[in-house]
Structure 1
Amino acid sequence: MQTSEQTSRRNFIKIAAAAGGGLFLGFNWLNSSALPVVVDAKKVAAGSVNFNSYLSIGTDNVITIISPNPEIGQGIKTAFPMVVAEELDADWKQVKTVQGNLDTGIYERQVTGGSGAVPHSWERLRKAGATARYLLVEAAAAQWNVPASECTTENGKVWHRTSGKSLSYGELAEAASKMPAPTEVKLKKESDFKLIGQSVRNVDNNNIATGKPLFGLDVYREGMLFAMIQRPKAFGLKLKSVNSEAAKAMPGIVDVVTFENSVAVVGKSTWQVKKAKDALKIEYEKAAELESSADHNRIFQQLMENGEATVRRKNGDVDTAFKNAAKVIKSEYQCPFLPHSPLEPMNFFAHVREDGVELIGPTQTPERARTEVAKLTGIAPEKITVEITRQGGGFGRRLAADFVLEAANVSKLVKAPVKVIWTREDDMTGGIYRPAVRYRFEAALDKSGELIGYKLRGVGMNSGNSTREDNFPSGSVENLLIDSVEYKSPITTGPWRAPITNFLAYAEQSFLDEVAEAAGKDPVEFRLALLEKAKKSPVGDIKYDVDRMIDVIKLAAEKSKWGKKKGVYQGFSVYFSHRSYVAQVGEVVMEKGKPVLKNVIAAVDCGIVINKSGSLQQVRGGVVDGLGHAMYGNMTFKDGAPDQRNFNGFRLIRMNDIPEVDVHFVDNGISPTGLGEPALPPAGGAVANAFYKATKQRLRNQPFINEEAFKGIS
């Protein structure tokens, strides 16, 4: 049986036409300053060179690169080759991408999370393309016996305009592989970009549309068994006893095994194991308090008043500022637990053998998957391969490795290759939710309406630090206190798209509108004035770029015609996260006496936009995701068990709920920053502030649909 590494090498060489020779460049993902080096194609084809992060140009003109980061729909598998192709002056139709598998010896940060893949790899990819172009030009110049300076590149060819000669990259590939590698290369100016900034279709679109096996759910191996797992039905319960006789007697069932706090049914098809899982008779006993949503409200209030707080940031004399204030504004905001709800439920394949482990599936953190399985099995990490599939959504859920460990556990116990599959109910009730949080904000104003004091306390359930103490308005207020209180709940939580800021941004930006109103100031001008203070007289460390935030605010105000539209109620929000800046304006109109969300205008500074269509999709998707969960997303608990078990009980945003989303990018020439997450945090605040303008009622709790001010609207 081929290992996943061998399979990937074989596929790569087939695509890159290694048998016919060509140009292979190995480039160092661990060192952005290192230039790529030429690798002998024959050695690659023979397998005598370790499978590396190659850029290849085959004699058939096909250009292939390895994309190491997991693709979860954020478009990284398209963006990476676009950067290479730009510097290479390649014909985009000849560019192919191969998904790289886990290799910590070559790759650094082989993770999808935190919107950090492009910022990490930008320079590395550009240098790979520029080095290949240099070698091709040198090869052409030598063949024509002309100076390299007289040669140009365009659309996959090297040209000598004076003589009218041209050679394709494929024709030059082998000669280029024999040229000495450069010690330095010159990268293009942004003004010379031809591909970057254009709209390019996702490289997997055709395979997705035609049903090609790309996803974890598509994985199949000869002799593979299927498994579904019954976990405790409530958080705080533990396994007491299992009666599996009826399940084992059902058709297609191979075994029923238990491990830790779970019962796995293993069989020959998903339907057979699902039916058998339903036939299990399991008793549980209490291991912790079985919490309900009513308990959480009580706990929040107690901890807000009396919890042991950790000071996250303190500037100036906060007590004196509030004591001397002409006006104090105080508000609380709360959000519920939320599931991640990716379209593709959790699944993973594992084959645990005595001499190694094969892992295949959708994971945002392949190294974590390998490390955790190594601990479980006692098998050395270097004997564990991880093949990364395309993923039907992640949103932070696949940063965890629990579903990987389940597959490894079952495979180890039944001594066979196994694919674990979660049902939608498993996915909804299996835990690792967005933490539930409550915030209390307080602001002190002087007689002229200036903000002289600011306090924020966050109480989070398994959230760690529920604040972002260094984000705006920190740095702009002389007297400021931000602290947090942590509550350990048996309900498991983890990162959820734009962790913490997904709710904090809504709460902060809604509260700043409250403060602006109390000060008698326009919300946009109020924020800009605070940022000017941060620029001229910063208070403590400022970890955001004041000018970039000012620019994105001004762009959003300009594009939305802020305050100038008759019959349109506008709400403003701006946030910095994952190195990027996004300002949004929500627009509400009254129809038949009810407020209706019509538009969201988004201004985005994420540095250079690589793929315009992909970037637009990321921003629009982030806005829709943020709106949907702010307005409708809700997970409640009764005695430790989720009330919502599938989409028939969990309200998602619907097509007719989605407003127009108008996106504008700041063109500042800065190297790309994050984009997968930054558009989500400001969305809730922009809409909540717009609804307030229309109704004069604040939306202080998510989901909005449960608020009195929102009832009857949707």
Structure 2
Amino acid sequence: METLLKTNRRNFLKIAATAGGGLLLGFNWSSCDSPKMKVVTDEEVLKNALNFNSYLSISPDNHIVIYSPNPELGQNIKTSFPMIVAEELDADWSKVRVMQAFLDNEKYDRQVTGGSGAMPHSWERLRKAGATARQMLLEAAAKRLDVSMDELSTDLGQVVHQSSGKKITYGELASDAAQVPVPENVELKKPKDFKIIGTSVKNVDNRAMFTGKPLYGLDVYKEGMLNAMIQRPPFGMKLKGVDAEAAKKVPGIRDVVTFKNNVAIVGDATWPIMKARKLLKIDYEPEDDKLESTDFHNQLFKDLLEKGKGEVKRKDGNADAAFRNAAKVVKSEYQCPFLSHSPMEPMNFFAHVREDGVELIGPTQTPDRARDETAELLGIPKEKVTVELTRLGGGFGRRLRADFVVEAVELSKMMNAPVKVTWTREDDITGGAYRPAVRYRFEAALDKNNQMIGYKLRGVGINAGNCTREHNFPSGSVDNLLIESIEYKSSITTNAWRAPITNFLAFAEQSFLDEVAEAAGKDPVDFRLELLDRAKKSPVGEIHYDIDRMRGVIELVAEKSGWGKKSGVAQGFSVYFSHRSYVAQVAEASMAEGSPVIEKIYAATDCGIVVNPTGADQQVRGGMVDGMGHAMFTNMTFTNGVADQKNFDTYRLIRMKETPEIETHFVDNGIDPTGLGEPALPPTGGAVANALYKATGKRLRNQPFTEQEEFKGFKLGDRA
């Protein structure tokens, strides 16, 4: 234990690498050996640098700085964005420095990380930024050499005069090029000419991460900064009273203050704050007479599915008539629990409220929301709030909100000092904004020829908004279809959770389609291809997905996995379109000592042009492990408004030894990138569940799988 008390982030990485299948966390209670984060500057690189546009600058000493505007939470955008700029610039990547841009809505119009939309939104903008600077450098070189631009080319950060062989570095041209009028129209490269895009480039923050350099919000330190932790009320409760006398006596505690329903302990460091927090005596009282529990939610789902008034989201043909005339009807219900986002780095943020403005530093997926909510709270112009972005230690949608930012702002104003608020892991799990709990009822009508002639989906979500995706497959392929959604408003807060709604809906839809295929006596892959053929030849209503792209990933994964051609393994299939991209998967299960084990999962992905193969591969693998782990193990339950699970000892995540082999493949179709942060997660649960069914004969309709009656008697196989 003594070693852990003195560890820092660099040593933690070493510990984590030797932890095997378990979860071992190292904490640094003392601040003496922890690197501190200062304002992000690099004076040597930026000295005399000339800005060609908001995305890049070039200094006379030939250093190129490319700014990445979007928050980096592990989706590799801080590497991929600069690669695109550098490609069109024809830069020498070894001389490129990447820096995180501050929030600036005038320069960048979408500084958001969410919805897998950063790459589709920025692809052309980034290319134009690099191509524009390249054009200006060429014009400057043509003038200096007194030659036509047609005689010049660029390569590795140099302008080359083809006939004489003369070369001028971008740095030598920087001052002259900066005076060239910015061209309105520039020519972009053809994909066949790419030199950087499509190559494997290491994460630009790798060295800093591996050596424990300050990158994250938890690393932020400012002279005179106070630390704070907050005790928040259970869901449905409000603060009645607090006795903080004992807590205030702990050395290192500056004050205990209340605001709204929160009790904040403010001190010099986190360790005395955590000690003082345990000494608080807080009384709460219900906001109303309904404190929700999981048993209540389970009954609620059943009642609303039977009697609730659903909002019709899509209606094609006459579904009721199709079911009346059906030769066979298949009907099933699927349910998922609330889930915590559980990023490795819990919520935290630094705020300094001054008379002349507000300084914000920390990990947020929506820096403009952090700024706007701060300005609204304080009643000041948005222009008086600056937001500096750190790298995010995970987010998965949790950091789309700004509640943890506003807490730091409120405390900074109350304490008249800079304050960093830090959530503990228990705060994060018990007081977070969860993945909504949802229950679905699916029905399919088959005619005498085993054609699906009717399809119904009715969903009930708790604070889920529209819990369906009414335009996703198989919509458009069924003559008679009805999709309805019901929302129940709860005091338990919810939020976008990686691949919102589709993170569970995909599992439910793809598992149900396997049930329908089995009832029809058809191979699951052939059944889906048959539906796609019908949507292609005789579309019903609007088609909001690309039939050919979906067919492409299905055929690719079937080929790579040897679908239906292997003995000794049970294969499960799933395919899904979400966030503009398409992913098909085949999971393989075998029996080990009488229990099923997921041995391998194949994935075929169509996300358009792959900017960085290494990053893309990691995104797919990470999404699949995330999808499998939460489908298999993870659960959030509540008793009287209080979360039953409080830390990783009871909130079960997948372990390293439970992770199957993963084989990834990408469709090379040359279209513009369509996003990859989320699409690999949704189909994983369905592929795994369908493989487990083939192996065991047990249909899994609720998550987490390991807590279902169908799974009892089985022990999850150890792949180690």
What interval of TM-score do these two structures reach, taking the shorter chain for normalisation?
over 0.9
1:244 partner letter? A
How many angstroms does 1:13 deviate by?
Answer: 6.5
Matched residue, 2:278: 278
Question: What does 1:194-273 align with in structure 2 at a 5 Å threshold?
Answer: 194-232=195-233, 234-273=234-273
Q: Tell me if the contact between 1:555 and 1:603 (Cα under 8 Å) persists in the aligned partners.
A: yes
Distance in 2 (alpha carbons) for counterparts of 1:282 and 1:420: 20
The equivalent of 2:25 in structure 1 is: none
Letter in 1 for 2:615: G
Alpha-carbon distance in 1 for matches of 2:258, 2:82 = 45
| Alpha-carbon distance between aligned partners in 1 of 2:526 and 2:453, rounded to the nearest angstrom | 17
State how far apart, in whole Å, the 2-side matches of 1:299 and 1:122 are: 45
Distance of 2:495 and 2:514 partners within structure 1: 30
Partners of 2:176 and 2:356 lie apart in 1 by 42
Q: 1:139 Cα deviation (Å)?
A: 2.6
Deviations 1:477-510 (A, max 9, x none): 1100000111112111111000000000000000
What does residue 321 of structure 1 align with? 322
Aligned to 1:36: none
- Alignment check: 8 A CA contact 1:456 1:481 kept: yes
Match of 1:673 in 2: 674
Alignment check: 8 A CA contact 1:116 1:578 kept? yes
Which residue identity lines up with residue 263 of structure 2 in the other structure?
Answer: V
2:38 is the counterpart of 1:16: no
Q: Greater shift after overlay, 638-647 or 146-155?
A: 146-155
In structure 2, distance between residues paired with 1:17 and 1:328: 72
2:44 pairs with 1:25: no
Q: Which AA in structure 2 matches 1:25?
A: F
C-alpha distance in 2 between matches for 1:175 and 1:298: 72
- The match for 1:650 is 651
Query: What letter matches 2:651 in structure 1?
Result: F
Could you tell me how far apart the structure 1 residues matched to 2:56 and 2:584 are? Answer: 38
Counterpart for residue 41 of structure 1: none
Deviation (angstroms), 1:228 = 0.6
Deviation at 1:168, TM superposition (A): 1.6
Amino acid at match of 1:252: G
Deviations 1:289-318 (A, max 9, x none): 222211111111011101121111111011
Deviations 1:455-485 (A, max 9, x none): 0011101101110011001111110000011
Q: How does 1:50-69 map to 2 (within 5 A)?
A: 53-69=54-70
Q: Structure 2 CA distance, aligned partners of 1:407 and 1:690?
A: 47
Superposed CA offset, 1:407-445 (max 9, x none): 111111111111111111111101301011000000000
For structure 1, the 5+ residue unaligned runs are 1-6, 27-52
- The DSSP-based 3-state class of the residue aligned with 1:11 is coil
User: Which residue matches 1:304?
Assistant: 305
Partner of 2:383: 382
1:136 deviation in Å? Answer: 2.0
Aligned twin of 2:538: 537
The 3-state SS of whatever aligns with 1:351 is strand
Distance (Å, rounded) in 2 between the aligned partners of 1:538 and 1:369: 44
TM-score by length of 1: 0.93
Structure 1 counterpart SS, 2:710: coil
| Displacement of 1:237 | 1.3
Partner of 2:367 in structure 1? 366
C-alpha distance in 2, partners of 1:562/1:90?
44
Partner in structure 1 of residue 11 of structure 2: none
CA RMSD of aligned residues (A): 1.4
Shift in Å, 1:629: 0.2
Q: Partner of 1:709: helix, strand, or coil?
A: helix
* C-alpha displacement of 1:12: 6.5
2: CA distance, partners of 1:109 / 1:604: 25
Compute the displacement of 1:590 (Å). 2.2
**1:322-381 deviations in whole A, cap 9, x for unaligned?**
000000000000000000000000001111223321111111111111111122111221
Tell me which amino acid in the other structure corresponds to 1:157: Q
Corresponding residue of 1:352: 353
Q: Who is 1:336 aligned against? A: 337
Contact 2:365–2:399 (8 Å) recurs in 1: yes
- Rounded Cα–Cα distance in structure 1 between residues aligned with 2:182 and 2:432: 52
Deviations 1:244-274 (A, max 9, x none): 1111121111111101111001011101111
Letter in 2 for 1:441: F
Q: CA deviation at 1:593?
A: 2.9
Alignment check: 8 A CA contact 1:77 1:203 kept: yes
1:713 maps to what in 2? 715
User: Is 1:596–1:713's contact at 8 Å kept on the other side of the alignment?
Assistant: no
- SS in structure 1 opposite 2:247? helix
Aligned AA for 1:397? Answer: R
| CA distance in structure 1 between the partners assigned to 2:179 and 2:224 by the alignment | 46
Q: Contact 2:446–2:452 (CA<8 Å) still a contact in 1?
A: yes
Letter of the aligned partner of 2:715 in structure 1?
I
Measure the CA separation in 1 of the matches of 2:182 and 2:353: 43
- Trace 1:516-665 onto structure 2 (pairs within 5 A): 516-665=517-666
Residue type of the alignment partner of 2:41: N
Give distance in 2, aligned partners of 1:131 and 1:266.
Answer: 50
- Structure 1 residue 575: deviation in Å? 0.6
Query: d(CA) in 2 for partners of 1:541 and 1:115?
Result: 23
Q: Look up the SS of the partner of 2:711 in the other structure.
A: coil
1:17–1:60 contact (8 Å) kept in structure 2 = no
- Figure out how many residues of one structure are paired with residues of the other and give that number: 677
C-alpha distance in structure 1 between counterparts of 2:166 and 2:106, whole Å: 43
Q: Does the 8 Å contact 1:12/1:98 carry over to 2?
A: no
- Quote how far apart the aligned CAs of 1:144 are: 2.9
The one-letter code of the counterpart of 2:52 is L
Deviation readout 1:18-44 (Å, 9 max, x if unpaired): 2xx54x212xxxxxxxxxxxxxxxxxx
Report the identity percentage. Answer: 67
* 2:129 aligned counterpart, secondary structure: helix
Pairing 1:439-458 to 2, within 5 Å after superposition: 439-458=440-459
Q: Which amino acid aligns with 1:250?
A: V
* C-alpha distance in 1 between matches for 2:534 and 2:43: 58
Matched residue type, 1:16? L
Say if 1:133 and 1:13 are closer, same or farther in 2 by CA, change over 3 A: farther
- The DSSP-based 3-state class of the residue aligned with 2:320 is helix
Structure 1: how far apart are the matches of 2:165 and 2:402?
A: 58
Kept in 1, the 8 Å contact 2:553–2:584? The answer is: yes
Q: Distance in 1 between matches of 2:110 and 2:160?
A: 38
Distance between the aligned counterparts of 1:404 and 1:615, measured in 2? Answer: 31
Match of 1:458, SS state, is strand
| 1:191-223 CA distance string (max 9 Å, x none) | 111111111111111111111111111111111
Q: Identify which range, 81-90 or 100-109, moves more after superposition.
A: 100-109
Partner SS, residue 521 of structure 1: coil
* Alignment partner, residue 476 of structure 1: 477
Q: 1:109 to 1:178 in 2, by over 3 A?
A: closer
Within 2, Cα distance between the matches of 1:223 and 1:131? 44
Checking the alignment, whether the CA contact within 8 Å between 1:335 and 1:437 is kept in structure 2 is yes
Cα contact 1:588–1:595 (8 A) shared by 2:
yes
Cα shift at 1:522: 0.8
In structure 2, what is the equivalent of residue 133 of structure 1?
Answer: 134
1:156-183, CA deviations, whole angstroms, 9 ceiling, x for partnerless residues?
Answer: 2222233222222212222222334334
Counterpart in 1 of 2:27?
Answer: none
